[in-house]
Amino acid sequence: MEAHLYKHKFAHYILIIVGTILMAVSVNVVYEPLEMVTGGLSGLAIVIKKVTGVFIEGGIPLWITNLLLNIPLFITAVIVRGKTFVKHALFAEVSFTIALALVPTTFHFVGQDYLLAAVFGGVIGGTGIGLVFAANASTGGTDLLAMIIHKFKPYYTVPRILTVIDGLVVIIGIISFGITKALYAIIAVYISAKISDSILEGLKFAKMAYIISDEYDRIAQKIMEQLDRGVTGISATGMYSNKDKKMLFCVVSKKEIVELKELVAEVDPKAFIIVSDAREVMGEGFREYRQ
């Protein structure tokens, strides 16, 4: 069992490393040379490099800006959400920063073709983001900032907050580099989102899971504590054993389903889990009801 969990964790770290390298390639090789601001702290870093180029030859490198902007975010996240919450995100952020520092910025395979840059940048970056999300991690940045804000403003969903933050970064890009480049950047963002969604098993909004186990109490407690998700116990009877038991039902995000399965297997390797797609979920932690 321990060897099985070790292999899963090792695979997660490999996904994060490969994903962050691809993200760095999209930023260093495609977006930064053409001054395309696609949102996020990496987009803000592109603007800062351009502005500081007046005072410093070549401007402040992207990896330095990305690192410096993330430090206060991670400190705040640890205080607000706890160490467990930022564990994977911290590894992904360090990996992304190192990749930004190492991926060469001199190789520009798309030339000055902005449409080609938007397509290939979106595909490469989206694949990287999808792999990182598949490992149940994020690279911090505006994602982390949105989660922190959500903690204090729970009536706004994380995607809504993230959209506003990234929108502001894009507006800064418009002011710095002009609206034409920003429009191509928006195309890149759209393609990136579609690619990352397809990697995370497509267009489904969430996953719902039914869990059958004699250890339902311990499993439910872990789900509520580690995933911060609600769990419903449904009375059920095993027709073979003729024993009454609880069947657990819960809904989690696409990124959390991997962690949920590992959590259940850790408590009870013989547990029976049924996972299916939820087309739409309304309520706390997901899409809020509209008034």
pLDDT of residue 98: 92
pLDDT of residue 249: 92
Determine what percent of the chain is predicted with pLDDT higher than 90. Answer: 8
CATH of domain 206-278: 3.30.70.120
pLDDT of residue 21: 93
pLDDT of residue 239: 78
Question: CB within 8 A of 14, min separation 6: which ones?
Answer: none
Tell me: the pLDDT tens digits for 193-204? Answer: 788 777 765 545
Question: Confidence class of residue 5 from pLDDT cuts 50, 70 and 90?
Answer: very low
Average pLDDT score, the chain: 81
Work out the average pLDDT over 31-38.
87
**More confident position, 261 or 287:** 261
CA gap 191, 26 in Å, rounded: 12
pLDDT of residue 203: 46
Question: CB within 8 A of 57, min separation 6: which ones?
Answer: none
Tokens of 15: 């996904």
C-alpha 178: how far from its chain's center? 28
Tell me: the pLDDT tens digits for 270-280? Answer: 888 888 877 66
Determine what percent of the chain is predicted with pLDDT higher than 70. Answer: 87
Give the domain ranges of the chain.
1-203, 206-278
pLDDT of residue 159: 60
CA gap 118, 224 in Å, rounded: 41
CA distances from 19 to 63, 85, 96, 133, 187 (A): 16, 20, 9, 9, 21
CA gap 277, 254 in Å, rounded: 9
Work out the average pLDDT over 25-41.
87
Tokens of 60: 């402040």
Does the pLDDT of residue 3 top 60, yes or no? Answer: no
Q: Which of 40, 279, 13, 262 is nearest to 173 (CA)?
A: 40
pLDDT of residue 290: 45
Choose the most confident range, by mean pLDDT, from 104-108, 143-147, 263-267. 263-267
Tell me: the pLDDT tens digits for 70-127? Answer: 888 888 888 877 776 677 678 888 899 999 999 887 767 777 888 888 899 889 988 8
pLDDT of residue 22: 93
pLDDT of residue 281: 65
Q: With both helix axes pointing from N to C terminus, report the angle between 2-25 and 83-102 in degrees, rounded to the nearest 10.
A: 40
